[in-house]
Every structure is written in structure tokens, then in C-alpha cells.
A and B are shown apart, each in its own frame.
Chain A
């Protein structure tokens, strides 16, 4: 295993996931739903990247395409040294133990006819040649780790509460000692008082096991709590990628700004004072995105250029990448950082040419 400390564990470059649309009696290929359209980011080992956005923005698709649950249309996904996006099936199978997923709905992602022991040991059946006793021992160990009572080992999913079910989902993801876990809205289906339990568990496990997370969520306040860096997605593209503390203090992209202002803070004094940005309309269809910037149809600060030219994701301040025409001058002035990002972008373009 390649284990250089400063190197990112996960590198995503210009990831595209297009779903074809077929119409007419001859099922002619007439277009694509561009669910993910050129997404790039790094995740450092042991850290958490938050991926936020509204439903339909492609955030779950990013997570699934990264783990090859979908076949990505283009782009590279380097996880722990290997490009997962282009691995051969057998190599990919061997790679799976390093990358796992926790799903949104614990009700739907656990087989109702399997017991907890069967669910959690299924990955072990698939990827190890351990004896039954060894596997059971590992199941017990995992149950301790996620805070499930060992007595529950032969129970079925319906006998557990939502929070406990999510713990089973986490135990299953941990079974093969992965390094990278995609958490796809793991708390969205849980009650407020249970959400904190699961979030704290995820944090403890990260610390203990040195896990790296991609935390996909629409809950901006929870992402702030968990993630060191946050990517804000809109209609298949990243609008802003910034360190969490900078983003929440001062969002740069108008969409990030609107999204943050829409969050309801549990504080009536603040709610009365605060100036909310109410976005008009709905998200456009990803099958037919606007010609220019994807956000131009709802952006309160829209300019003429936005309607014709798609902005690139560029470093406009140290460590902060924003895809918006509002920040062109800063890019030119901001010298080194900007050119670095541009180089990265060029590399991605070449890469994309190869894969096609």
C-alpha cells in the first residue's frame, strides 16, 4: 500500500457520469442526462470531504460512480493508488475491500430475511476464506465497535430501530477494514436525537481506524460539523470547493451563499434579523442544462457572460476553488494558485480525451 502522509488518498479528476436517453420505437440515442459533468476533488487520508447540494444535483451519483456502482462515462478516480474507474473486473473485486459505502436508508439497504450476523459477515464470505468461528468473532468485534449489543446477533433488521439499523449498515461497511467510506446521506432518514448518535459514532470510528470519508448530505450544518473540506454541487458540477471554516464564514459562489442562507437556524432572534436569499424557480433538468453557467437561470447576480460561457472551477483565493464569472479579475491577479488549477484542468481535459 502506498502510504505517503501528505498525498491524498482519493483523487477524482473530471469525473463524468452521463445516463443515455433513448426515444422513439427504434430506441434512438437522443441525449444524455448529465448527472455528473466534470467533477474533480481530492480527499486527504483520514479526513472528511463533505459533498452538499440539493436533490438531483448529482451528489449521490458521484459517490456511486466513484465506487464503480455505476460505470463512469469519463474521468479518473484514484483511490489509494489505483484508478478505480478503469480497473478490470477481477482487479476491481480485489480492490473492493478498501472502499465501502454506507447507504441512506437503513430500512431498504438491509435484507429483511437475513440476520444481523449474516448481513455483517456477508462481505467476509465474499472476500475471505475464514472459518465460521473466525467470521463470528469478527462480527462480534464489529458490533462492539458500532455500539450494538452482542445479544442481538441473531436478530432480523425489523427488530431494530432506525438508528440501530444504521449501525448495522456501518458495521457491514467496516467488516473488511476499508480505508475509504462513502457515506451517502447516512443520517437523513433518522430522527434528530438519533442523528447525533450516528454522527458521533462515525467520528469516533474515523479517529480510531483512520478512515477517510466522503460525506454526502443535504444537511449543511451537519456537514460543517464533520467535514474539513466541503464541495457544493449544483446540477452535476462543483460550484465551490473550500475548506469548511472558510465556506461557512463567507461563501464565495452565489449558489453556496443562497444555500447557506436558506438553512434554518434554531434561533428566533437570528431568524428575524437574517437576510435570506430566496432563489426563484427550480433546478433545471440535467438532461437539458443551460448553455452557460448551470446556475444562471436562478442566480441573483447573473451577468451576460454567465448565459453563454460555462465557468471553470478556479482557485480564487488560497485553497478555495470557485466556478463563477464573478471572480475573473482575482484569478488573473492571484497568479500561482490560479495557474496551478488551470494546469490541473488541462490535464483533466487530456485524460478525458484518452478515455473516450
Chain B
């Protein structure tokens, strides 16, 4: 990527494969993206599109085997995480990069108090004493808007509601003041009013702390509200990437367009019928030799079967900087699609 130096995180040609008895599953295919300080990058895709696996690969959180990170570089402030030893990497996880998982119900340990779980990274990474860690833990709970923090440190996860637990998860992720926060569907399991609370909280924390955030979701509505840039994933690769306003105003990839049309709105006219993306997401049982979306694409033509389209700039800016798309049909030089 062009301005790798200015990026806090720079991922290049990441490729992750799962070895299973039934053969290899190519879950992440040459994914490249970068993240600037203080920026919020939205990652959109369905289940199986590779969005979570990509983020887990960054910190080598996937069990290996079956997962195998074939190639690529993950540069965090210039240092390659994939080349690090386990010990070195342990000092990065939770300290430089915070992770918030989808399900607040299962990602907290039920037999430890919250205080214990928030203080753990502080004691391990920042070498704080227990008393210091406790003070900091109270500050963190205050920061994420949990009232009566001092008291609640000694409570167990089951004494908290879903929204509260997600706040605690965010507090843990923020404990060591990370450069990058990766949030994997953090609001999916929550109700809309609680989701709105968490989104407000994240916006406020960004203003206060200025860390860079990667926000994974399948909900384009959430992305529209918080992201600066968006990348759309399908079949383990990035099919479209653009600044948020540009993506919603001028979607290029047929998948992005269809995705925007399948969601009914609560304002404006009521659709008489929802647009459907027929078929199922692909099974990635080999390296991609054709466009992964072709089986469900209404614009499919010869080129789609012949080769996997590369990312191509839409607005003349370098790939990953402005608006780019991986699609044969939108290429300026394409032939007219043969109507099937």
C-alpha cells in the first residue's frame, strides 16, 4: 500500500487456509488493507465471507492446525505480527490490539469477577500492582458508563445484562490503551436500543481516546452510522472498498448493490417486494479461479468464469486509498453482458 508508513496497521496479501479432512478451505484470499490512526474501518460481509477469519488471522488467534496462514504480512506500527514469536505476540494481543467479540454472554469467564477479568491485562501487560490495577479498572468502568463501578468490580458476569457485559468487554479491550481495537460484530447480539447505546459509547470513546477501530458487521445500517471507510468482503476477498458516503451513494459491485437493496427501510416508501440475492454463498474449496459471486450475480458474463477479478480503482486513486472494486462487469473495457 502506498502510504504504509502513516498506517498504524497495514495488512498485505493475507492468505489463510483451513486444512480439513474434506480438503482445503480457502477462507481468506489475498486480503490487503490498512488502517490509519484514529480511523474507523467497517468490514461488511455475510457469515462465511471471511471477515472474522481475516481479523483472527491478524493476531494468529486461530487454532493451527487446521488454520494455516499461507502468506502475507501484518504490519503493526511497522512490525510484522506474522513473523513474531509466540511470546512477542502475546505482548501485542490485548496490549497493542484490543479485541471485542460478538457474544458478550460467552466471552466473559463466568467463574471470575469482572474486576479480575479487567485487571488481568493490566497486571500482565502493564505490570501494575493489584491496587493500581483496581484503581484503573474503576476508571475504565466509569469510562464505558457503568454506574457504581467500585462496587460492581466484585460482581460476576451473570449479574450484568447483555448491554452491560458488552460495555465490560469494551473496557477490557481498552484496558491497556491499544492502538487498534478490533470489534467483531459487537452489537449483533444486542437489542436495538442497547445497540444504540453501545454505538454512542464507541463514538464518544473514539473522540476521547483516538484509537483506530476495525468494526466487523453484517449490518450496513450500523456501518452507515459510524464508519469512515468500508470494505465489503465476499468469498474471502475484498470485493469493494470505499469511503462510507461514496459506498452508499455509488455502490459498484453487484453484491454491494444487491445487499443494499435487500434491506427494507423504515423511512421512505415501503417496497412492494424485497430484492433477493438468489442462491447461497460459495464454498471456498480451492483457490479462486473465477469471480466468487458469479453464481448469484445477475450481470454474469464470460469474463466472470474465466478469471477472478482483481481490485481496480474506480476514482483513479491507488487501490485501498479511494474507491476500488473487484468486478469484471464494472470494468470500463468490458464487453456487453450476454443475457443468460
The chain A residues found within 8 Å of chain B, CB to CB, are 54-55, 161, 163, 191-197, 199-200, 203, 218, 220-222, 224-225, 245, 248, 258-271, 276, 278-280, 282
Task: Give chain A nearest CB distance to B25 CB in angstroms.
Answer: 16
From B57-65, B217-225, B325-333, give the one contacting chain A: B217-225
Task: Give chain A nearest CB distance to B297 CB in angstroms.
Answer: 12
Within 8 A of A (CB), among B232-290: 244-245, 248, 258-260, 262-267, 270-271, 273-278, 280-281
> What residues on A are CB-neighbors of B86 within 8 Å?
none
Closest CB pairs A-B (n = 8): A264-B221, A54-B191, A225-B264, A262-B196, A266-B220, A271-B225, A193-B277, A196-B274
Contact across chains for B224 and A221 when beta carbons are under 8 A apart: no
Within 8 A of A (CB), among B21-74: 46-47
Task: Give chain B nearest CB distance to A215 CB in angstroms.
Answer: 13
A191-B218, A192-B218 as given contacts; A265 in contact with B266, CB under 8 Å: yes
A263-B266, A282-B164 as given contacts; A268 in contact with B244, CB under 8 Å: yes
Q: A220-B266, A264-B219, A267-B224 are in contact. List 7 more A-B contacts (CB 8 A).
A: A191-B47, A221-B265, A225-B264, A263-B221, A263-B266, A264-B222, A264-B225
Nearest A-chain residue to B245, judged by Cβ: A268
Contact across chains for A260 and B194 when beta carbons are under 8 A apart: no
B195 at the interface (CB under 8 A from A): yes
Contact across chains for B224 and A266 when beta carbons are under 8 A apart: yes
> What residues on A are CB-neighbors of B248 within 8 Å?
266-269
Question: Which of A192, A197, A220 contacts B192 (CB under 8 A)?
Answer: A220
Task: Give chain A nearest CB distance to B228 CB in angstroms.
Answer: 10
Task: Give chain B nearest CB distance to A294 CB in angstroms.
Answer: 14
Contact across chains for A278 and B200 when beta carbons are under 8 A apart: yes
Per DSSP, chain A at the interface is helix
B159 at the interface (CB under 8 A from A): no
Contact across chains for A55 and B245 when beta carbons are under 8 A apart: no
Task: Give chain B nearest CB distance to A190 CB in angstroms.
Answer: 9
Expressed in whole angstroms, the Cα–Cα distance for A312 and B147 within the complex equals 33
A262-B193, A264-B221, A268-B244 as given contacts; A192 in contact with B270, CB under 8 Å: no
B178 at the interface (CB under 8 A from A): no
> What residues on A are CB-neighbors of B218 within 8 Å?
191-192
> What residues on B are CB-neighbors of A54 within 8 Å?
191-194
Contact across chains for B266 and A248 when beta carbons are under 8 A apart: yes
> What residues on A are CB-neighbors of B162 within 8 Å?
55
Expressed in whole angstroms, the Cα–Cα distance for A196 and B276 within the complex equals 6
Q: Specify which of A197, A261, A264, A265 lies most central, judged by the most chain B CB atoms within 10 Å of its CB.
A: A264
Contact across chains for A276 and B271 when beta carbons are under 8 A apart: no
Task: Give chain B nearest CB distance to A183 CB in angstroms.
Answer: 16
B163 at the interface (CB under 8 A from A): yes
Task: Give chain B nearest CB distance to A316 CB in angstroms.
Answer: 22
Pairs A–B under 8 Å by Cβ, sample size 20: A54-B191, A161-B280, A192-B218, A192-B263, A193-B46, A193-B259, A193-B281, A196-B274, A196-B275, A200-B276, A218-B192, A220-B192, A225-B271, A258-B193, A264-B225, A266-B221, A266-B224, A267-B224, A268-B225, A278-B200
B335 at the interface (CB under 8 A from A): no
